[in-house]
Structure 1
Amino acid sequence: MLEQAALSPPPLIGPRSAETFGRARRVFPDGTTRVTIERDPIPRYMHHGESAFLVDVDGRRLLDLNGNFTTLIHGHAFPPVIKAVTHQLRSGCCFANPTEIEIALAELLCARIPHLDRIRFVNTGTEAVMFAIKAARAFTGRPAIAKIEGAYHGAYDWVEVSQAATPQTWGDPEHPAPTLHYRGMPRAVLDDVVILRFNNAEGARRLITEHAARLAAVLVDPMPSRGGLISPTPDFVSAIQETARRHGILVISDEVLNLRQGYEGASALYGLAPDLFALGKIIGGGLPIGAIGGRSEVMAVFDAASGRPALPQGGTFSANPLSMAAGLAAMEALDRAAFDHLERLGDKLRIGLERIIARHGAPLSVTGAASLFRLHPRRKPPREFRETFLTPREVAVMTELTRFFATEGIVLPNAAAACLSTPMDEDDIALVANVFDRFLNQRASLLDTIKG
């Protein structure tokens, strides 16, 4: 067992957070409304955000590397978004009728992202993925999908399969076993999900071909966050795309998170030409949003102009004008110069972290691209999901890393994608690097507990 003395005390959680959590436990099942909320040992409650920083209810200011799970690419309270939403709020927050502003945001996205001919707005990334899969089924007449082991695509039974597979459940490397995600999940769902291993090109070709007759789509996250934040190899991208095309299977690119990799998104960076996209997060400017988009002939399944469409889709708050206004303001500000700025900062930080690791000889590694990065308690970066599975000692190291950053005034996600935002500058990058350097200096004995 790990020596308790090797661990630092929990980061300062002020009395107001403690009091607030006490209230929350009386109305929420576990005191929160999202399973993703980090607690050590309780959540830190936030009062407000300002630019790249958060201020908690006890007045503590922290550099935010979470960005509401990579959503806030412009940081908090971005002035153009505040202005746009305030203006729209005075005109009304939602209507049963369409508005001009939804067309403006759709025009921007369709003009910017290759292969995005038509688009539909929904309210979350989960909805975007769900309706993209339904669109693929409606277009092909087939029920099944293939997805990457360990990849997160929201809360829809079929995409939750093997989202949290373990060495005890994930099965044969050549034929990964589809695994249930929650107690009571219908086992029948497993029959319509084929599991692929990330960057295993030959395995992807073989499994897609083997199940081709019933596959509607291959669902791909170009760089799965929970799968390690690893870039796809060209061979893997080609294997998926070419095999799917050969068998009339659609390719869905889930860029809910990874659209932030570049001006045209992640698929364009990695040579993927999807039939459908699932979008979200940054396109809403900090307000709830999701979108399904893709080739005109596929998106025609939503067309209700001549009666009932092949795929009916609606939602009370879909394309609500507040999200549309916020999203348009945020995306207009995300010009090529903004992406170049984020790329420079991201490269500088990842290179800096790698140099610090090398100098200390620490059993850690860095993955990521553009404005995203993730630290791993392994000397060699993982190549796929199975190599990201952590031992109890490695979990303790990552918990301590997040805890140490919190005590130094930085929010660092635990074993997940961290992100930069446009208000950040080189001083912020230097701060992150310096805190990481101090962690390696002060926690050397803890790092010695893992082999890496």
Structure 2
Amino acid sequence: MNDAFPALGGTEGSRSWFERAQASLAGGISSSARLTSTGPHPYPLYMQSGSGARIRDVDGNEYIDYLVSYGSAILGHASPLLTDALTEVLHTGTMFGTCNMPEVELAELICRMVPCADLVRFANSGSEAVQGAVRAARGYTGRSGILKFEGHYHGWSDTLAISNRPTVAEAGPYEAPHSVPHSPGIPAGVVDDVVVCPWNDPAALRAVLDAHRDLAAVICEPIVANNACTMPDAGFLDLLRDECTARGIVLIFDEVCTGFRTGPGGAQELFGVLPDLAVFSKALGGGLPIAAFAGRREVMEPLARAEVKHGGTYNASPLCATAALVTLRALNDPAVTKRIDETGRRVMETVRRAAHDSGVPCAVQGVGAMFQVVFTPDGTPTRQYRDLLRTDQPRYDAFRHELLKRGVHTNAYAMACWFVPAVVSEDDLAATCRAVEEAFAVL
């Protein structure tokens, strides 16, 4: 744990629970992302309840929440829309292991909302859905190679846990980065199937594509949520589309973070670029575990014919499918996603103004619904993963610590982002902006 900062005042309950957890949970956690190793806190905060845009920890401290379950709880915590619908399902049966009506209605709605979606398959997490999309692409093309971009995150499974956070020494030459496994335990044969390329570099992209003729798919985060919301350069996604079409390569957008958040049709609608396949999770379920991959009929047909295999006991259970159906019906209203975007943009503008007034160089990048504050040396936005390696992590830690002290909860990781829920009130927004201004005043 990081002891660079003192424990947040009034969080002894969290400290006690973490000490207890370490006796039975490996590392005291159930997900590596919950270990605040790059955050200012020497132990995780334990949350007990939430309502709307606010959460409360076991010590009774209240925070305005811009983590919202890593973007999942987009309708807020304990949303009446969800709790009412899910209570009914709890009384009729949460899980049958059979087909059910909500999954059909949900698939129909996704096909109406998502531009590339002719057919849909469901899974339980973004990592699972990425594996399904990659298998679909390999089955369709008969090839095995996958091109991914340096720093982009596509889940924790072996399939694409490659070059997520390499050091410069590990990553190798800029134009042709090494494929670096994210963890011990990933077989070399899996790593060999993955080619890595720098983001936002047309010349490097073409060179890598020319050098590798066995690619089944190119996969990317269209807005790189796991690289501090690094945006695509103008025309770069169009170039990806054109190059994949010309070479017969399946283009996959990982919209686990952007899907249904940047608008009803996700990033593909926002940028006007259609992938062959897209992956969704997080906001899809409104806080319950469900994911999907969807795409062009031609690419999905081998799945439909059961030539390409895909399954899962818990896929699209009535409980989770109902949660997703309720969530997407709400998000299919452009007024809802517009409100999310406008709320986020007001926070972004406050950060820019406060940073300018305090003389602290930083960039605020992303879109209203999801953004990050990046402390670059000259205050310019990042374009690629390696730009992030020169950001001021200690200053980000200090910024987040000051926000926590003032009741604003954000991601501990400088390479992650703020997620804005749909239920931020004017009072919440005013308190957030005030906390931002006060935090910059003491940085």
TM-score, normalised by the number of residues in structure 2: 0.94
The residue number in structure 1 matching 2:55 is 54
Matched ranges for 1:323-402 at <5 A = 323-334=320-331, 335-378=333-376, 379-390=379-390, 394-402=392-400
The residue number in structure 2 matching 1:18 is 15
* Per-residue Cα deviation, 1:85-136 (whole angstroms, up to 9, x for no partner): 1111111011122111111111111001101000011111001101100000
Distance in structure 1 (CA, Å) of the matches to 2:6 and 2:278: 44
The alpha-carbon deviation at position 228 of structure 1 amounts to: 2.7
Distance in structure 1 (CA, Å) of the matches to 2:375 and 2:368: 21
Read off the aligned partner of 1:343 and give its amino acid letter.
Answer: D
DSSP 3-state at the match of 2:18: helix
In the alignment, is the contact (CA less than 8 A) between 1:53 and 1:63 conserved in 2? Answer: yes
The residue number in structure 2 matching 1:313 is 310
Distance in structure 1 (CA, Å) of the matches to 2:390 and 2:234: 27
In the alignment, is the contact (CA less than 8 A) between 1:119 and 1:291 conserved in 2? Answer: yes
DSSP 3-state at the match of 2:322: helix
Distance in structure 1 (CA, Å) of the matches to 2:440 and 2:120: 47
Distance in structure 2 (CA, Å) of the matches to 1:9 and 1:182: 30
The alpha-carbon deviation at position 65 of structure 1 amounts to: 0.7
The residue number in structure 1 matching 2:266 is 265
In the alignment, is the contact (CA less than 8 A) between 1:209 and 1:243 conserved in 2? Answer: no
DSSP 3-state at the match of 1:83: helix
Matched ranges for 1:160-179 at <5 A = 160-179=161-180
Distance in structure 2 (CA, Å) of the matches to 1:133 and 1:157: 12
The alpha-carbon deviation at position 430 of structure 1 amounts to: 2.7
Distance in structure 2 (CA, Å) of the matches to 1:405 and 1:351: 16
The residue number in structure 1 matching 2:204 is 203
The alpha-carbon deviation at position 400 of structure 1 amounts to: 1.5
The residue number in structure 2 matching 1:404 is 402
The residue number in structure 2 matching 1:428 is 428
Distance in structure 2 (CA, Å) of the matches to 1:164 and 1:265: 25
The residue number in structure 1 matching 2:24 is 27
Distance in structure 2 (CA, Å) of the matches to 1:61 and 1:346: 20
In the alignment, is the contact (CA less than 8 A) between 1:372 and 1:418 conserved in 2? Answer: yes
In the alignment, is the contact (CA less than 8 A) between 1:72 and 1:282 conserved in 2? Answer: yes
Read off the aligned partner of 1:20 and give its amino acid letter.
Answer: W
DSSP 3-state at the match of 2:169: coil
DSSP 3-state at the match of 1:368: strand
In the alignment, is the contact (CA less than 8 A) between 1:208 and 1:244 conserved in 2? Answer: no
The alpha-carbon deviation at position 433 of structure 1 amounts to: 2.3
DSSP 3-state at the match of 2:98: coil
* Per-residue Cα deviation, 1:385-433 (whole angstroms, up to 9, x for no partner): 1101146xx2221112111111111111121211111110333233222
The alpha-carbon deviation at position 8 of structure 1 amounts to: 5.8
Distance in structure 2 (CA, Å) of the matches to 1:169 and 1:322: 43
Q: Tell me how large the CA RMSD over aligned residues is.
A: 1.5
Indicate the percent of aligned positions where both proteins have the same amino acid: 32
Matched ranges for 1:157-236 at <5 A = 157-211=158-212, 213-236=213-236
In the alignment, is the contact (CA less than 8 A) between 2:158 and 2:186 conserved in 1? Answer: yes
The residue number in structure 2 matching 1:252 is 252
TM-score, normalised by the number of residues in structure 1: 0.92
Deviates further, 219-228 or 146-155: 219-228
In the alignment, is the contact (CA less than 8 A) between 1:101 and 1:325 conserved in 2? Answer: yes
DSSP 3-state at the match of 2:168: coil
The residue number in structure 1 matching 2:76 is 75
Read off the aligned partner of 1:241 and give its amino acid letter.
Answer: R
* Per-residue Cα deviation, 1:212-248 (whole angstroms, up to 9, x for no partner): x210000011011222312212331122111111111
Unaligned runs of at least 5 residues, structure 2: none
Read off the aligned partner of 1:19 and give its amino acid letter.
Answer: S
In the alignment, is the contact (CA less than 8 A) between 1:285 and 1:328 conserved in 2? Answer: no
The alpha-carbon deviation at position 47 of structure 1 amounts to: 0.8
Aligned length: 431
Read off the aligned partner of 2:167 and give its amino acid letter.
Answer: T
The alpha-carbon deviation at position 38 of structure 1 amounts to: 4.4
Runs of 4+ in 1 over 3 A off after TM superposition: none
Distance in structure 1 (CA, Å) of the matches to 2:188 and 2:19: 38
Say whether residues 1:146 and 2:175 are aligned partners.
no
Say whether residues 1:136 and 2:134 are aligned partners.
no
